[in-house]
Amino acid sequence: MLLASDEFSEKFAIYKILLLLNFFSGYNQVQLHSNSRDIIIFLMLLSLFRMYTLSQDAINSIV
């Protein structure tokens, strides 16, 4: 018998999910939905990072 989606998700609510992405095979290989930005982080040697993409006309410093 198949479980309802709420019952299924409750069984996994206490677990952390590890997602392995290959960032060497292409730029922005996997697109993340904007609603999932706050729950997905990237652990790197320097620190924890959050995925964010700037639009093409954005700048990161004020001239």
Residue 6 carries which side chain, given as an amino acid letter?
D
What was the pLDDT predicted at 46?
72
* Nearest one of 35, 49, 38, 42 to 19, comparing CA atoms: 42
Task: Please check whether residue 49 is in contact with residue 42, taking contact to mean a CB–CB distance below 8 angstroms.
Answer: yes
pLDDT beyond 50 at 1? no
* Nearest one of 4, 29, 7, 63 to 51, comparing CA atoms: 29
Residue, of 10 and 56, whose pLDDT is higher? 10
Grade residue 7 by pLDDT with cuts at 50, 70 and 90. Answer: confident
Residue 56 carries which side chain, given as an amino acid letter?
Q
pLDDT beyond 50 at 15? yes
What was the pLDDT predicted at 33?
75
Tens digits of per-residue pLDDT, 22-57? 556 555 556 667 777 677 666 666 766 665 666 666
Task: Please check whether residue 41 is in contact with residue 50, taking contact to mean a CB–CB distance below 8 angstroms.
Answer: yes
